Amino acid sequence: MYDRAVFLLNNPAARRAMSVTEQVIRNHSRTFYLATALLPREARQAIRCLYAFCRSTDDLVDREKASLADVERWRQLVELPPETQENPILLSWALIRERYAVDRQYEQELIDGVALDLRVNRYPDWEALERYCYLVASTVGLLSMPIIGLAPGVTFNQAAPYAIRLGIALQLTNILRDIGEDAGHGRVYLPQSDLAVFGLTDRDILNGVQDERFTALMRFEIARARDLYAQALPGIALLSRGARPAVGAAALLYRAILDEIEAIQFEVHQRRAHTSGWKKLRMLPVILHTVLSQ
């Protein structure tokens, strides 16, 4: 196993790689950047390397003319050990992966989930969508746990179900927020069976139909997401004490996006719901009290 500190001190490429990962998170996720600032320094840097890897993997399918071959080439690059890795983001992740002995099953499942976006743009039912959410989001939580640590006496298997629920909740929140953007790419993630219950079709979603049927559907999906958060949040108490503020902040700040969707009257085709930076800061004291009192 690599001694990361020694490697960073003696390898300029590795130091540059860590700098690149820091910039990725600054540019792409203010919420995650704010939440991870609450982690101890070493874990904060490591988790940001994981985020940069996940973000870069996800970005593969958003490129024009992206193909499954591109994903498989990326998978091969991910496999390279640190000493032969040239991509700065993959170098920083390779170092972290080896430092914390991360289970690579979840790394591969994440790539499998991203590949789905190139061949699947409809999901027949909740079970199918739930599986997708697991692949692209729950895997991130499972990759995170060896890095951020667990409370004394807690095993990975005890904490994993909560991480899985939280990942699904976060991804469903993303899907509800980005309905309009995804429709622009011809994607409808909402389960076809749910659309049918409310008298809608995927064509209605693509055309931006917003009526009482759509509102009812959104209320249903938001209730599902909130229930997933409720199932997941007790798992924060199973994490190391140093990790709880960051994970709690990420979860509760993301859950607040559901409130913002309601506040904009479900106009997700026209507007992107988000929580302002000032509002996030105002929420933090309550969030920290809630998490640390568990």
Whether domain 120-294 has CATH 1.20.140.10: the reply is no
pLDDT tens-digit readout, 148-162: 999 999 999 999 999
pLDDT tens-digit readout, 16-36: 777 777 777 666 666 677 778
DSSP structure string for the chain: ---HHHHHHH-HHHHHHHHHHHHHHHHH-HHHHHHHTTS-HHHHHHHHHHHHHHHHHHHGGGSTT--HHHHHHHHHHHTS-GGG--SHHHHHHHHHHHHTT--HHHHHHHHHHHHHTTT----SSHHHHHHHHIIIIIHHHHHHHHHH-B-TT--HHHHHHHHHHHHHHHHHHHHHHTHHHHHHTT---S-HHHHHHTT--HHHHHTT--SHHHHHHHHHHHHHHHHHHHHHGGGGGGB-TTTHHHHHHHHHHHHHHHHHHHHTTT-TTT------HHHHHHHHHHHHHHHHT-
pLDDT of residue 41: 85
Residue with tokens 């997708």: 132
Q: Are 201 and 175 in contact (CB under 8 A)?
A: no
Residue boundaries of the structural domains of the chain: 1-102, 120-294
CB-based burial label for 78 (10 Å; 0-12, 13-18, 19+)? buried
Positions of the chain with pLDDT under 50: 1, 5, 9
Q: Are 239 and 152 in contact (CB under 8 A)?
A: no
How far apart are the C-alpha atoms of 204 and 211, rounded to whole Å? Answer: 10
Q: Are 4 and 99 in contact (CB under 8 A)?
A: yes
